[in-house]
Amino acid sequence: MRRYGENIKRNINYKIRVGVYGVILIGNKILLTDQDKEEIQLPGGGVDPGEQKIQALIREIREETGWKINPDKYIGFYQRFVFMPEYHLWAHKICHIYYCRGIYPLSEPLDLSHTPIMVTAHSAFKLLHNEGDKVFLRRCLKSQLK
């Protein structure tokens, strides 16, 4: 499995966290989130015990952005090893990425630590903090970036 980001720290006991994230197209814009005004990322998050990945994706995107989405296609996955300050733990994140269409906003975000932003694809590549997110965004939008 391809790894992006920090190298594995051998003295850390990582907790595996399976997550789902969306490359969400709304018109000609990409929907991203700004978490705690610190990190721009693809919307999504952890899969709860007993939850299916698609259910988690729809739930997480609704919580973080307020949008109803249609997951169209599974794109792939990657891993990263990071400290998650909101949970106070070191995580081995397994990130599953889906291509999604934004249908319409249902509400304001339910998770107040996330601010949704809509940007052009060009701006998204500049803003995203995580190299893995950029790689999968590029895969989804290759034909639009010519």
- Domain locations along the chain: 15-145
pLDDT at 140: 87
Residue (of 65, 41, 70) closest to 136 by Cα position: 41
> What architecture does CATH give domain 15-145?
Alpha-Beta Complex (3.90)
pLDDT at 144: 47
pLDDT at 36: 87
What is d(CA 62, CA 50) in angstroms, rounded to the nearest whole number? Answer: 19
Q: What is the largest CA-CA distance in the chain?
A: 46
pLDDT at 80: 96
Each residue's pLDDT tens digit in the chain (146 positions)? 999 999 999 999 999 999 999 999 999 999 999 998 889 999 999 999 999 999 999 999 999 999 999 999 999 999 999 999 889 999 999 999 999 999 999 999 999 999 999 999 999 999 999 999 999 999 988 744 44
What is d(CA 14, CA 91) in angstroms, rounded to the nearest whole number? Answer: 5
pLDDT at 23: 96
pTM, to two decimals = 0.93
What is d(CA 130, CA 79) in angstroms, rounded to the nearest whole number? Answer: 11
